[in-house]
Structure 1
C-alpha cells in the first residue's frame, strides 16, 4: 500500500510539456555519477528555459530567466544527488528523473525523482520527512547546519530539501510504494513544485 507525505501531486495533467530521463544508477561509481548529476541538472534547466513565460522585451527578462534556471538547476542537482546516493545498490531498477511545466491555473514547475531504496533507508527517510513536515523549516535548517558542523561525515542532513523550502519556497511531496516480488525494497518518489 502506498504512503503519501507532504504536497504530492498524484496525477499530473495530460497535455503539458515534460521531460523524463532514466539512469542506470549502479552502472558507474557514485563519483562519476556526481559529475553527470550536475550536467543533467544544467541540461534540465536549459530545457525548461524554452517554456518559461518571459517576454523578451521585458526589462528584467534575462535576469528572471537566469533566476529560474538557477533555481531549477540547484533543485534538480540536489534531487539527483539524493536519488543516486540512496538508490538501492542491489537491484537493476533505473532511476527516473523528470521535469514538468504546468501552465494552468498557475505557471508551475514540477521536478520528480524516483528510485528504489531498502526498507531501512526508506524508514529513515520517512522519519526525516515527518520531522520536516512537523517543524519550522528555518529552525530545522539551522539545527541541521549545527549538527553537520559537529559531524562532517553526516550522510543524512536533509539540508538540500530544507534549502528548497527556505530559499526557493518549494512545496515537497513524497510517495512510497512497495515493489512486488522485492519485499526488502520500496519505490520512493519525490516531487518538488515551484510556482513561477
Structure 2
C-alpha cells in the first residue's frame, strides 16, 4: 500500500546528470560518528554539483543544497528502522532548472501514523507560525528529538523548494515501510 503526501513524483528515470549512493546505517561505528558524516556527504555532493551549474550563483546554490541534503540525511539516520537492516539510499537528479533530491529509508511502523498525520499540517500551515509553535512545544516537552524543525526550516526558508513523501509497504510480515522524501529545488 502506498501513501503520497505533498509534491511527490516517483524519482524520475536518471537524467543525463545524476548522482546516487547508499550506505548502511548499521555499522560498528557509533551513531555520533556516523551523524558527523552527514555534513561531509552533503558538502561532497554540493561541491560535485557546482561543476554542472557554473553559470549560476554557485555559492548560494552550494549553501542551499548542503543545508537541505544535510537535513534529509539527518532525518534518514535519526528515524531509520534499525531492525530492517536496509541501506539508506540517496539520489540527486540534475536538470537545467531544478535539482531533485530523494532520500529513501525504512521507518519503524510505530512512527508512521504520527509522521503521516503531521505532514498535512506541515504542508498547509503558515510555515513561520508552525515553526514558532513547534519550538514552543519542544521547550514545554523539554526535548527537540522529534521536533520536525528541519523539514519546517526547508519549507520556511526555501520558497523555491517543494517537498513530497511516499510511504511504501514493501513487506507484510514482519511489516516493513520505506519512506522516500523528495525535495525539488528550483534553480534560477
Secondary structure at 1:188 match in 2: strand
Partner of 1:123: 113
Contact 1:117 1:187 in 2 (8 A): yes
Confirm whether residue 191 of structure 1 aligns to residue 182 of structure 2: yes
Structure 1-normalised TM-score? 0.88
Confirm whether residue 72 of structure 1 aligns to residue 72 of structure 2: no
Please tell me the root mean square deviation across aligned C-alpha atoms, in Å.
Answer: 1.6
Contact 1:117 1:186 in 2 (8 A): yes
1:52-111 C-alpha deviation (Å, 9 max, x unpaired) = 151xxxxxx6xx2111000000011100000000001112210001211122xxx10111
Separation in 2 of the partners of 1:99 and 1:145? 30
Secondary structure at 1:179 match in 2: strand
Partner of 1:21: 21
Separation in 2 of the partners of 1:112 and 1:182? 26
**Count of residues paired in the alignment:** 185
Aligned runs of 1:163-182 on 2, under 5 Å?
163-169=153-159, 170-182=161-173
Structure 2-normalised TM-score? 0.92
CA positional deviation for 1:11:
4.5
Contiguous gaps of at least 5 residues in structure 2: none
Contact 1:113 1:190 in 2 (8 A): yes
Separation in 2 of the partners of 1:14 and 1:49? 18
Separation in 2 of the partners of 1:124 and 1:182? 21
